[in-house]
Amino acid sequence: MNPIRILAVDDDLDFRYLLTQMLLGQPDLELAAVCATAQEGCAAVARLQPDIVLMDLELIGSYTDGADAARRIRMQTTARVLILTADDNPETVIRASVHAFASGYVLKSQASMLLPTIRETATGPTPQSHLICAALLQALTVAERAVLRQMLGQEVQLYSSAKTIANQQTSVLHKLGLPDRNMLRHIFAVYLS
């Protein structure tokens, strides 16, 4: 079996060292690269195609830099993203994870949970990914959720007119910030596989 390929993006030199030390000697885990900035990380992900990306939420003191980079990575690759953060505010962590379409998160204060979380995330949906997906779906109405399931290829009986369904499909994509149905399927594949 091939090892799980991991790419880490973190601007904290000490935490990058800790990550490297934790991953060394793990036969089922391979550290493909460690990057210090969102820009370096996005370029390395495109080049190296890791299975898991560990993305620091607080890159260069800004929540949006890490979350936005993670979102770009999720939209452009098949990598699953785990958010790393020193912030233990659940609302902040979930909001960032939803924005990034992340598969999960690990608090830096609980670094001992990192390796098990990487392994779980690489094998499929986890309780955290279900929580993030549920939070993502909160933006949708009940009818839009039914339309979303249909857009994802599930058998759903819809009782609305074709025009109403088309409007709801557009609304789903708009509320989730996705350009089209193909991207919707790509993003939700992580949550449903």
Residues 107 and 144 in one domain: no
Mean pLDDT within 21-41: 94
Give the E-state strand segments of 72-193 in sequence order: 80-85, 104-107
- Greater model confidence, 88 or 26: 26
Q: State the sign of the Cα–Cα–Cα–Cα dihedral 42, 80, 180, 168.
A: negative
What tokens appear for 178 in the block?
A: 């996705």
Q: Is 129 part of a structural domain of the chain?
A: no
Domain around 146: 139-192
CA distance 76 to 71: 9
Phi, then psi, of 88 in degrees rounded to 5 = -100, 15
Residue 62 has pLDDT above 70, yes or no: no
Residues 117 and 146 in one domain: no
Q: Is 179 part of a structural domain of the chain?
A: yes
Average the pLDDT over each of 28-42, 58-72, 105-119 and give the range with the smallest value.
58-72
Residues 117 and 151 in one domain: no
CATH of the domain at 71: 3.40.50.2300
Please, which pLDDT band fits residue 129 given cuts at 50, 70 and 90?
very high
The predicted pLDDT at position 55 comes to 96
Residues 114 and 69 in one domain: yes
From 70, 102, 100, 107, select the one nearest 86 (Cα to Cα): 107
* H or E element that contains 162: helix 162-176
Residues 149 and 120 in one domain: no
What tokens appear for 142 in the block?
A: 């009940």
CA distance 163 to 160: 8
Is this structure's pTM higher than 0.75? yes
Residues 144 and 106 in one domain: no
What tokens appear for 110 in the block?
A: 């609980």
Q: What size, in residues, is the chain?
A: 193
Residues 45 and 111 in one domain: yes
Strands 52-56 and 29-35: unpaired
